[in-house]
């Protein structure tokens, strides 16, 4: 039985919230979204706890649980609220879609215009997002980064292997590697420029030093919900029942370190120094209006049976718009906002969320609640849809011109990269992901 979240009354684009900012033009967090995070008031020693975004506010789930506003005849929603109000979302993620959906529906009803609970919630349970700070939504036990954009894979392959850009296995198997969970950081965390071995062109031996070809990677993160037992693969039609939701992810990459070290075992120091996550996790249920059919070009190999199904073909793809913006220190000092350098869409990915989960477990690997999968850089088919500077600048040969006259090939110290994502179309409410940002600090090496 396919486990994709169906459309229901919470998706109704006519719904309005008594939180007025939820109706603002371009708002990422209307009542139809209700994403989850872990937060506390900035600058305090308050306990971390779960929260839900509504407009420019955070609904404090711990305060809501204490206020006992969810009715006793909604035991599943009450159980879900108790789990979601803790200092990580792991227990909530592990409960599964029945609990996620029950809590989302209860919160939607409570936040709707005319709700009887409005005054109590408004008085006790709202914190302005401007006053909040965040940490990672879950304890991330494991992190696997995939390579799901055929356009990114081809573009990178042309730079690293001009004679053989796309290896023959790519169109048959969802490629991935095991990343470093300990260096995953929340959006807004700045990090030092990485250091590693570099092989200068024409040099007889490598040198050790700071990366000079530091790059961004425009990705989505996939948080696992209920896990699977060791040795028990997850069927393609059950895969999304094991996915709690998606967030923005920037898997910063040191391309010069990567070019020297990646053969024969793949990424290592080029990737393990920092990976940034946005704080808000958008549930798969909130994304239900933005489903598209999964297709493959007729001339390409079709997925092997364990990666294919009628449900995947009908609606396995998600229509999520993505963009990268860049702000240099000079821009910041002049009060200039980050400028867009790329715009892409998750619909261009070669492999779906369900295919990533199913392939990850086909050999018996046991996923756990809070594990994180990365989609890999989500580049589109056109030049301005590339999700990494190495593609946008043709390997550093063609600089990007910024509005203030500066140029960039790769990131300089002090540069801030900002990722954003949203879903938007006629007949459905906009669903946004907030932002994922980070600033490069000098290495100190």
The Cα–Cα gap between 8 and 286 comes to: 10
152 labelled catalytic: yes
Residues with Cβ within 8 Å of 317's Cβ and at least 6 positions away in sequence, in order, are 291, 292, 293, 294, 346, 347, 349, 352
Q: Within 13 Å and on the Cβ side, how many CA atoms surround 292?
A: 15
Cβ pair 371, 403 in contact under 8 A: no
Q: Given phi > 0 = left and psi -120 to 50 = alpha, else beta, which region is 391?
A: alpha
Torsion, Cα of 295, 298, 303, 308 (10° steps): 40
Neighbours of 357 (CB within 10 A): 26
The Cα–Cα gap between 265 and 177 comes to: 9
**Catalytic one among 99, 152, 242, 348?**
152
* CA 89 vs CA 84, 358, 438: distances in Å: 6, 23, 23
Kindly list the catalytic residues: 152
């Amino acid at each position: 039985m396919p486990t994709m979240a169906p459309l229901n009354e919470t998706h109704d684009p006519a719904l309005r919230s008594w939180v007025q900012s939820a109706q603002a033009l371009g708002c990422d967090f209307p009542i139809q979204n209700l994403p989850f995070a872990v937060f506390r008031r900035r600058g305090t020693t308050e306990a971390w706890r779960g929260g839900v975004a509504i407009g420019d506010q955070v609904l404090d789930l711990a305060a809501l649980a204490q206020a006992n506003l969810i009715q006793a005849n909604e035991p599943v929603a009450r159980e879900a609220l108790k789990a979601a109000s803790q200092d990580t979302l792991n227990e909530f993620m592990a409960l599964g879609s029945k609990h996620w959906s029950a809590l989302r529906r209860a919160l939607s009803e409570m936040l709707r215009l005319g709700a009887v609970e409005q005054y109590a919630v408004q008085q006790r349970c709202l914190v302005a997002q401007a006053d909040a700070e965040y940490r990672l939504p879950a304890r991330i036990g494991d992190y696997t980064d995939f390579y799901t954009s055929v356009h990114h894979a081809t573009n990178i392959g042309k730079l690293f292997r001009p004679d053989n850009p796309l290896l023959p296995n790519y169109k048959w198997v969802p490629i991935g590697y095991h990343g470093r969970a300990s260096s995953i950081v929340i959006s807004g965390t700045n990090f030092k420029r990485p250091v590693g071995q570099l092989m200068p062109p024409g040099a007889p031996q490598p040198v050790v030093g700071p990366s000079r070809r530091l790059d961004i990677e425009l990705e989505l993160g996939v948080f696992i919900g209920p896990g699977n037992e060791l040795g028990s693969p997850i069927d393609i039609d059950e895969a999304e029942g094991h996915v709690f939701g998606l967030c923005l992810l920037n898997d910063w990459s040191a391309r010069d370190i990567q070019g020297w070290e990646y053969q024969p075992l793949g990424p290592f120091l080029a990737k393990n120094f920092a990976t940034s996550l946005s704080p808000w996790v958008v549930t798969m249920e909130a994304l239900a209006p933005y489903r598209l059919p999964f297709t493959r070009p007729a001339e390409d190999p079709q997925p092997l049976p364990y990666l294919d199904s009628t449900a995947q073909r009908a609606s396995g793809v998600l229509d999520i718009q993505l963009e990268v913006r860049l702000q240099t220190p000079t821009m910041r000092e002049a009060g200039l906002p980050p400028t867009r350098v790329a715009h892409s869409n998750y619909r261009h990915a070669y492999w779906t969320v369900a295919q990533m989960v199913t392939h990850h477990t086909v050999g018996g690997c046991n996923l756990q609640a809070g594990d994180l999968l990365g989609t890999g850089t989500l580049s589109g088919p056109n030049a301005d849809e590339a999700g990494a500077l190495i593609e946008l600048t043709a390997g550093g040969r063609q600089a990007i011109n910024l509005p203030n006259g500066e140029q960039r090939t790769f990131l300089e110290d002090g540069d801030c990269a900002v990722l954003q994502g949203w879903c938007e179309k006629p007949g459905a409410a906009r669903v946004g992901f907030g932002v994922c940002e980070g600033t490069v600090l000098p290495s100190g090496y």
